Amino acid sequence: MLPRLLRIFSGNLNVCSRFQHVDVFNRRLSITATRKAAKLIDGKALANDIKSEVKRDIEAWMAQGNRRPKLTAVLVGDDPASQTYIKNKVKATEATGIASETIRLPPTVSQQELLKQIQCLNDDSGVDGILVQLPVPAHISERAVCNAILPQKDVDGFHVVNVGRFCTDLKSMLPATPAGVMEIIKRTGIETFGKNAVVCGRSKNVGLPLAVLLHADGIGETNAMDATTTICHRYTPPEQLRVFVKTADILVVAAGIPNLITADMVKEGVAVIDVGINRIKDEKTGKFKLVGDVHFEGVREKASYITPVPGGVGPMTVAMLMKNTLLAAQKSIKYDF
């Protein structure tokens, strides 16, 4: 009798076990089948919102009797990409109601001549914002050029005074691309407080400011993000890059390497901001196309949010440049030297 009961009991256990296995299997199937791809962050739409806000604020500013803000761009040489960037910036000034001027200098211009031109713009009270389109020719020091622009008119946010101010959590002209990324995160509602952020790229104009703004205290003047932030760069060993990237709740990639980040490197639910823009040849069509530093089609299947390339961070950079020009005209940042 006892052996029979044991066999029945054992059989029931096996049946229960099989049902439990099937139930878990089905639940896993259900989760996999209903997993949604990342929400696409429309950088163009966000940029248009910001430009509309800037236009509204400029109209209110002028209604108080103030003159129209003016942005002057200096282009050295005839680099096609730089010409495109300048064209986009001029187009944005027209959309926001900012007066603009472009000064074109030959690639042979000396550093002394360029610095003299910048000084003239510094002294011109009718010019609120100055930007020198980078890169400049090799015989000119980029750092000398950036530091020649008055911090109050430095709408690119590259002067060492502006860099020092935001690094110490003081209000400053923020570099336009990092400022654009911050706006994307805020306006999309991506949570950063206490989260793990990983920045791939350490350039002085993009990667470093992003890391600073992501990790700094949110109660300071920069309204930073309070994330625990890791920086990876060209000398981070590939196996360690994978380890760091896998920890990211927020991943910002600005390395300039096409498709550096692949789906197997990220965790489920990561928010991905792709700053990279690379021109590569499509193997299927033979035509050139723009891609980011993130393998978009693969990563979007695991991410919660992702920016496209093009149409993500790029438009936001231009929009934040317009916002900086208005700040410069209003002299809303107080520089105490």
Among all residues, which ones are annotated catalytic?
89, 133, 156
User: Hey, which bits of 142-227 come out as E strands?
Assistant: 196-200
| Residue bearing tokens 């317009």 | 322
Instruction: Say if residues 40 and 271 touch (Cβ distance below 8 Å).
Output: no
CA-closest candidate to residue 131, choices 103, 110, 108: 103
Which run of H or of E encompasses 51?
helix 43-63
Q: How far is CA 265 from CA 96, 139, 247, 250, 278, in A?
A: 40, 40, 9, 13, 20
Q: What is the SS3 assignment for 230?
A: strand
Beta pairing, strands 196-200 & 228-232: parallel
* Count of other CB atoms within 10 angstroms of residue 336: 4
Closest CA to 261 of 194, 186, 193, 201: 201
